[in-house]
Chains A and B, each alone.
Chain A
Amino acid sequence: MSLWEYANPKKFMETTGWLLPWLTALTALTLGGGLVWGFFLTPDADRFGSTVKILYVHVPSAFIAINAWVMMLVTSLIWLVRRHHVSVLAARAAAPVGMVMTLIALFTGAVWGQPMWGTWWAWDPRLTAFLILFLFYLGYLALWAAIENPDTAADLTSVLCLVGSVFAFLSRYAVYFWAQGLHQGASLSVDRAQHVADVYAYPLWLTMAGFVFLFLTLVFVRTRTEIRARRLSALVARERKAA
């Protein structure tokens, strides 16, 4: 029993097919529960009023936006090294999810920033880094869409993902050097003191888990779609050859 068994599309389809209903239910439970808890059962904060509740969407979506790219980096590497198709299809499946999460984080940040900072947008390091991350997602998806041969596209997007990761990392430190920020530091942390009062932190952890499950569910569904699309195009190609 090893992880690489799931590189077999058939095995992957079987396992995820069995896993998906449970994962969906878990997502609904944690995300729904966390959001209801956060939105309706916590008090308004002193200085922030009810805008504090944007936190429950903003923080998890930003967390997923970054980690979706990390996941794409890992799966792209696996594709380049071991040539498992499921791996690169998972990277392709994660990209739009990550991009939408980036947009959600930017949008909720703007909605929060307007009453709190008095501006929708500032060239703050964190905001800028997210805008650049959004451009990376956009370029990655555009490259996938532009190339017809699926294996060529997989190779080129994987190389882009590797090089892009280095530059995304570099950009993150470059923008910190370039501008002083309005954005506060990390809200949640496993090993350091909390910056968020417990009454807000517990539902936040729950929505974080909910977003992680949501991400997994969406990536599995999209990867399954990609695998089926591959099978379909293989069948069509075979028919055409036979005819």
Chain B
Amino acid sequence: MSALLLRDLRLAVRAGGGFGLSLAFFLILAVLVPFGVGPDRERLALIAPGILWVGALLAALLSLDRLFQLDWEDGSLEALATAPLPMEGAVAMKAAAHWLTTGLPLVALSPVLGVLLNLAPAGYVWLPLSLLAGTPALSMIGAFGAALTVGVKRGGLLLSLLVLPLYVPTLIFGAEAARRGAEGLPALPVLLMVAAISLAACAALPFAAAAAIRVSLR
């Protein structure tokens, strides 16, 4: 399992991986939004948690289609299916690698971008915290979507369509936790909801995703 994780991490970080792309996208969004809505500091502070959450979600979405696609095309997914490691474990590791290369950097980058969007002081704690709790769910749900569309040629659009409604609860609770935190309201219960969604997704979805991959490999 750790060998698979390390392999995926190496592939992602080296040339051709989606590592830099998601971060660049996140940065571009945070820089462009003030140009779009105007430099009014109060307005920016109002929308900062929501914009950064939507940005993190879209950045995660951006790199999903390469999660299984490349392994599918060069046959290493079939090799993985015959390996002693159960497919559920392989899917979980792939999602973990995706999270480590997109989710975690986004968490680290979010306070910096919060400065650009005039995030309220308390938000510097709650926004990264809510992203830390929520991005594993984004990676895991995304891995499920990628597993469903692995056999589809140019399935990127389909993948986005499938994943879009699945992301709604995570986004609602995640952005709400960040917003409440930034405004000084009690945010802990909402944060726990986000964490619950992440944990449930990580516990249950590898089975669904592995089933989907097995069907596609049949």
Interface centre among B164, B166, B173, B197, by most A CB within 10 Å?
B166
Judged by a CB distance under 8 angstroms, whether B99 is at the interface is no
B contact residues, range: 20 to 34
Interface of B: prevailing SS? helix
Minimal beta-carbon separation of A134 from chain B (angstroms): 9
Q: Write the A125-164 contact mask toward B (1 if CB under 8 angstroms, else 0).
A: 0000000100110110011001100001001100110111
Minimal beta-carbon separation of A70 from chain B (angstroms): 17
Judged by a CB distance under 8 angstroms, whether B53 is at the interface is no
Judged by a CB distance under 8 angstroms, whether B192 is at the interface is no
Query: For the complex, what is the distance from the CA of A164 to the CA of B168, rounded to whole Å?
Result: 11
Are A146 and B149 CB-contacts (below 8 A) given A152-B216, A159-B208, A159-B212?
yes
Query: For the complex, what is the distance from the CA of A168 to the CA of B162, rounded to whole Å?
Result: 12
Judged by a CB distance under 8 angstroms, whether B116 is at the interface is no
> In the complex, what residues of B have CB within 8 A of residue A16's CB?
none
Q: Write the A44-87 contact mask toward B (1 if CB under 8 angstroms, else 0).
A: 00000000000000000000000000000000000000000000
Judged by a CB distance under 8 angstroms, whether B119 is at the interface is no
Judged by a CB distance under 8 angstroms, whether B151 is at the interface is yes
> In the complex, what residues of B have CB within 8 A of residue A167's CB?
165-166, 168-169
Judged by a CB distance under 8 angstroms, whether A116 is at the interface is no
Number of residues of chain A lying within 8 A (CB) of chain B: 25
Q: Write the B137-170 contact mask toward A (1 if CB under 8 angstroms, else 0).
A: 0000000100011011001001001101110110
> In the complex, what residues of A have CB within 8 A of residue B197's CB?
170
Q: Which residues of A contact B (CB under 8 A)?
A: 132, 135-136, 138-139, 142-143, 146-147, 152, 155-156, 159-160, 162-164, 167-168, 170-171, 174-175, 177-178
User: 6 A–B contact pairs at CB < 8 A?
Assistant: A146-B155, A152-B151, A163-B144, A170-B197, A171-B172, A177-B176
